[in-house]
Amino acid sequence: TYTHQPPLKTVEYFSCGLPQVATRTKANEALIEDGVTGLLSGDQPDEFALSMKCLLEDKSLQETIKRHCMDAAKEYHWKTLAQNLLVPEYVKLLGG
């Protein structure tokens, strides 16, 4: 059931600059760029643990992900979404 549903917490973590490890669902793959805005892992506990260990031990990776997360969060800000998605649709509906 959660394969295609993007979790809100992913965007919330982006906005807080929190590096995250997520499983490779279609929704997570659409939001998270592996190694850039988070780490994507397989569903198996050993794979997930390995990704967590990698993130915990690599301070440089943590900082890289934190920086990119904060930039990615801007894409999901209400003002950005309204300006890029809603306003153009309203303009089309109004015949503009």
pLDDT value for 80: 86
Q: Tens digit of pLDDT for each residue in 45-89?
A: 999 999 999 999 999 999 999 999 988 888 888 888 899 999 999
pLDDT value for 22: 93
Distance CA 93, CA 96 (A): 7
Name the pLDDT band for 35 (thresholds 50, 70, 90).
very high
> For the chain, how many helices (H) and strands (E)?
6, 2
